[in-house]
Amino acid sequence: MIGRRAFLGSTLALAACDRFAAAEPTPADDLPPLKIAPFPIGACARSNHPDDPAWRALALRNLDQITAEWEMKMEAIVGDDGTLSFTGADKLAAFARDNDLRLHGHALIWYSQDNPFFRGLPEARFGAEYDGYIAAVAGRYRGQAVSWDVVNEPISEDGSGLRDCLWSQRLGQDGYMIRAFEQTRAADPDAVLFLNDYNLENLPAKGATFLKTVERLLKAGAPIGGIGTQSHLDIEIPAGQIRDWMRDAGSLGLPIHVSELDASLRRDGPVDLRTPAQRREQQVARVRELAEAFMALPERQRFDFSVWGLRDTDSWLREGERDDGKDSPLPFDAAGRPNPMAGAMVNAFS
C-alpha cells in the first residue's frame, strides 16, 4: 500500500511540481491532500475562517490540526482591566472539536503580548496574576488542546541570548519560562508543552542558543515536552542549513513541531533581480528540505507539521503594507489550488 501510495503521490507531486515550474496552479484534485503525511498536518486559522465555505473545504481536506492565529493570545483574551474574553478562541475550539481536528494552543506567554493590565500590576500581585492567567487559559482547553506554545520567541533577534521583556523583568530571565511551564503543566497535565521560536533554521546561531536554552530549562526542571520551530523560511539560505538544524534539534530526543511554515518569495530591501521562476525554485527547494528533514526524524518525534495559513491570501505576509499582491508563501493560491510548495510537501511526505 505504502509503495503504491508513495508511487502515486510522488508521481502526481512530481508532475505537479513540473507544472509548478511554470507556476501554473494545479487543479486542487490533482494533488493528494497534505494529510497524506504519516503525522499530523496543521494550519493556523482565524475565527472567521470556518464561515468561509472554500476555506472550510480546503481545511477539512488537508488538515488534522489547527492553531488559532491570534485568538488564543493575550491581545485577544485580556482586556485592559484584566477581564478575560474567549469568544474567538472558543469558536475555533468548537470548530476543531466538531470536525475532529486537533487543537494546538498558541501562545500563552510571549514577549510581544504584554499589555496594560499586566504592565500596571504591583509587584505583590504580578506572580499570582501571571499564574492565574495561565491556569485560566490552559485550564479552559484542558482535554481539547493537545499542546501549547507555553513560551513564544524567548531568544533575542540576533540569537546572542534571551530577550528582555516584561515577564523576564518581573520574574527573571529563566524564571518566567520555568514558571510558565510549571503553571501550564498544573493546568493541563496531558498537553505537550512547547518552547517555540523563529529563524532557528535561518540563523544557526539563534538555533543553537534556542537548543541550549531548552537544555538549561529542562535541567532546571521545566516540563518542556517539545521543540517548536516556526519555520518562516528565508528561501535564500544555503542548502543544508535546514537539514542541519533539524538534525541538531532532533538530537535532544523531544517531539518537534514545525509550527508556522511559510516561505515568502519576497526579499526585504529595494532590489530583487530574481525572476519569479528562480524564486519559486528556491522556495520549493527549501520547503522540500524542511519536509524531508522532518520526515527523517524518528516517528515519535514528528509531532505536527503546520503551515501558517492555507491560501496565500490568508497569510500575515499579505497584510497591510507588506502586501504587493504577488507573494505566494503558502501551499495554496487564493482559489485553493496547490502551489509548488504543496507538491514538494506531498512528495516528501509520501
- Helices in 63-201 by DSSP H: which ranges? 74-77, 87-98, 116-119, 123-140, 166-171, 175-187
DSSP class of residue 163?
Answer: P
Considering only the stretches 23-31, 70-78, 163-171, 208-216, report the one whose residues sit in contact with ligand G3I under the rule CB under 6 A.
Answer: 70-78
Asked if 194 contacts 227 with a C-beta cutoff of 8 angstroms, the reply is: yes
Considering only the stretches 3-11, 69-77, 157-165, 205-213, report the one whose residues sit in contact with ligand G3I under the rule CB under 6 A.
Answer: 69-77
Considering only the stretches 67-75, 173-181, 296-304, 332-340, report the one whose residues sit in contact with ligand G3I under the rule CB under 6 A.
Answer: 67-75
Contacts to ligand G3I from residues 142-161, by CB under 6 A: 152
Alpha-carbon span 151 to 153, nearest angstrom:
7
Q: Closest distance between ligand G3I and the C-beta of residue 159, in Å? A: 16
Closer of 183 and 230 to ligand G3I (Cβ)? 230
Residue 236 lies near ligand G3I (rule: CB under 6 A) = no
Beta bridge partners of 307: 43, 261
- Burial class, 104, CB count within 10 angstroms (exposed 0-12 / middle 13-18 / buried 19+): buried
C-alpha cell at 27: 487543479
Residue 75 lies near ligand G3I (rule: CB under 6 A) = yes
Residue 333 lies near ligand G3I (rule: CB under 6 A) = no
- The three-state (H, E, C) secondary structure of 20-48, written as one string: HHCCCCCCHHHCCCHHHCCCCEEEEECCC
The residue annotated as part of the active site, out of 114, 260, 289, 312, is 260
Beta bridge partners of 233: 263
Interface with ligand G3I (CB under 6 A), residue from 64, 114, 188, 260: 260
Closer of 198 and 210 to ligand G3I (Cβ)? 198
Q: Is 197 annotated as catalytic? A: yes
C-alpha cell at 9: 503521490
Interface with ligand G3I (CB under 6 A), residue from 10, 23, 54, 70: 70
Q: How many residues bind ligand G3I (CB under 6 A)?
A: 10
Give residues in contact with ligand G3I (CB under 6 A): 46, 69-70, 73, 75, 152, 198, 230, 260, 316
